[in-house]
Amino acid sequence: MTSDIAIDRAFAERLFDELAEHTTDAPGITRAAYGEGEQFAHEVMKREAAALGLSQRIDPAGNLYLTYEGRDPTLPGWVVGSHLDSVPHGGNFDGAAGVIAGLSAVRALVEAGVRPRRSVTVMAIRAEESNWFPLSYLGSRAALGLLPDASLDTPRADTGIALREHMARLGLDPAQVGTGKVHLDPKGLHGFVELHIEQGPVLGAEDVPIGLVTGISGSFRYRKARILGEWGHSGAVPRSHRHDAVFALADLITALDGLWAEVLADGETATITFGEVATPPDLHGFSKVPGEVGFCLDVRSLSPGCLERIHARLMELVARIETARGVTFDLGERSGSMPARLDESLRAQFAAVAQAQGVGFVEMASGAGHDTATFANAGVPSALVFLRNQNGSHNPDEAMRIEDFVVAADVIAHLLARDDNR
């Protein structure tokens, strides 16, 4: 009986506590992609799945699939999951909450004696955090056969060792990853569901525990951009003779901030962020005109057209500033991801279950990227459920309330138990 389905709070707390204890890296926790912390988290999930009698599979990229077989395993099944890696010195809940929610939901079904019509696979996805490898949605793209072979030569930010070597060290099969072979066939999926802590303040302000996400922003990024000017004496070089890299960057930042305001006034959604700005520490000095500055640029929007509008203006601004300031821009490689619109029908099913359970929710867009976007853009009906979370994410102070987690996992469990899913 679905009325017997209940999430075991103690089970979830035990898993969160175990992850925190073994992956603490003060301040916060660190679970590096294809590293010790992420691997530990995968082993924990495998152990718990074995205790529940779930079947287990690992694809060549190391994505983990833990399956509770449905009454009709020939039907396209559900995948519920998220990632287990973290940013350096991050929080314990980003990513892990989604995997533990999947296991908690399946455990509730098993304990209630409820076997859904469709099989349910809990997926622990590798390497979602691009801090480690500058590749969007590495693990989910590998699962769907969408990761180019050249990506395997990408070095990890902290070790300098290539992705393929990190995979091989864990006994995985990188030679199979870049071939385009599909390891999780979208045609065999009824739907993909990801629970993730909200990374902003909306749910807290609305005083509701969950958000049903309408779409996920795409992006373009320049991670290693530079402006090259000319070093000089701060007192001896007049303005008319300067080639000041920092003033050139200031021109760019100011102009893009103005463009951002225009975009918002036109009814579009976007964010523009210069997350890193620095002059070379081995060359800069108090009395020097800066001849070089490095920066990274991260632009996001739900609209592909808006992204291209901003990028086109960026190119115009670069050319204009180069002429005006006598500098040269070296933007480096462009990377990014496509925006994703999430499935309206699946979102409506979640809304119906939440209402039946008396759970408050809002519909909202996601400015941050999530693996759900990969599945949605591959044609899989996909849903992203945000969980109220205090103090943001990607920091040691993440403060998701366990009672909110239980509510969200309960909604997922009851959705999976429904036999009227089309």
Tens digits of residue pLDDT in 322-344: 999 999 999 999 998 999 999 99
Within this chain, do residues 172 and 282 fall inside the same structural domain, yes or no?
no
Nearest alpha-carbon partner for 216 in 394, 90, 374, 411: 374
Q: Where does the pLDDT of residue 301 fall: very low under 50, low under 70, confident under 90, or very high at 90 and above?
A: very high
**277 in the same domain as 203:** no
The residue-averaged pLDDT of 250-272 equals 97
Answer whether residue 156 is part of any domain.
yes
**Above 70 in pLDDT, residue 183?**
yes
Say if residue 422's pLDDT is above 60.
no
**Are the CB atoms for 353 and 418 separated by under 8 Å?**
yes
| C-alpha torsion sign, points 343, 346, 348, 354 | negative
Same domain, 117 and 29: yes
Residues 335, 328: Cα–Cα separation, whole Å = 21
pTM, rounded to two decimals: 0.90
- Residues 41, 179, single domain; the answer is yes
Final residue belonging to a domain, choices 295, 321, 337: 337
**Domain contains 179:** yes
Domain tally, the chain: 2
pLDDT digits (tens, 9 = 90+) for 237-257: 999 999 999 999 999 999 999
Does 247 share its domain with 236? yes
| CATH assignment of the domain containing 286 | 3.30.70.360
CA dist., res. 74 & res. 174, Å (int): 30
Task: Encode burial over 319-350: b for 16+ CB neighbours within 10 A, e otherwise.
Answer: eebeeebebebebeeeebbebbebbeebbebb
| Enclosing domain of residue 158 | 2-217+339-417
Q: How far apart are CA 51 and CA 322, in angstroms?
A: 62
Mean pLDDT of the 390-406 span: 93
The DSSP secondary structure of 139-197, one letter per residue, reads HHHHHTT-S-GGGGGPBPTTT--BHHHHHHHTT--GGGGGG---SS-GGGEEEEEEEEE
pLDDT of residue 392: 87
Within a domain: residue 97?
A: yes
The structure tokens listed for 266 are: 């036109």
Q: Is residue 317 part of a domain?
A: yes
Could you tell me if 379 and 288 lie in one domain?
A: no
State which of 337, 366, 396 marks the end of a domain. 337
Position 41 in a domain: yes
pLDDT for the residue 3: 73
Please identify, among 337, 357, 373, the residue that sits at the C-terminal boundary of a domain: 337
pLDDT confidence tier of residue 139, bands split at 50, 70 and 90: very high
Q: Is the pLDDT of residue 21 over 80?
A: yes
> Is the pLDDT reported for residue 421 higher than 80?
no
Note whether residue 422 is domain-resident. Answer: no
DSSP string, 309-352: HHHHHHHHHHHHHHHHHT-EEE---EEEE--EEPPHHHHHHHHH
Mean pLDDT across the chain, nearest whole number?
Answer: 96
pLDDT of residue 1: 54
Does 50 reside within a domain? yes
pLDDT at 51 over 90: yes
Judge if 303 and 156 occupy the same domain.
no
Q: State residue 208's pLDDT score.
A: 97
Residue 117 has pLDDT above 90, yes or no: yes
- Is the same domain home to 227 and 162? no
- pLDDT in the model for residue 420: 62
pLDDT at 151 over 80: yes
244 and 148: one domain?
Answer: no
pLDDT at 49 over 60: yes
For the segment 401-414, the average pLDDT, to the nearest whole number, is 97
Using pLDDT thresholds of 50, 70 and 90, give the confidence band for residue 197: very high
> How many angstroms separate the CA atoms of 278 and 280, rounded?
6
Interhelix angle 36-52/9-23, rounded to 10 degrees, is 150
- What CATH number corresponds to the domain at position 50? 3.40.630.10
* Average pLDDT estimate for 226-232: 98
Q: What distance in Å separates the CA atoms of residue 145 and residue 139, rounded to the nearest whole number?
A: 10
Shared-domain flag, residues 136 and 148: yes
Q: Which among 248, 250, 211 has a CA at the least distance from the CA of 372? A: 211
Q: Are residues 107 and 241 in the same domain?
A: no
Are residues 265 and 396 part of one domain?
no
Instruction: Give the pLDDT mean for 186-204.
Output: 96
The verdict on residue 199 lying in a domain is yes
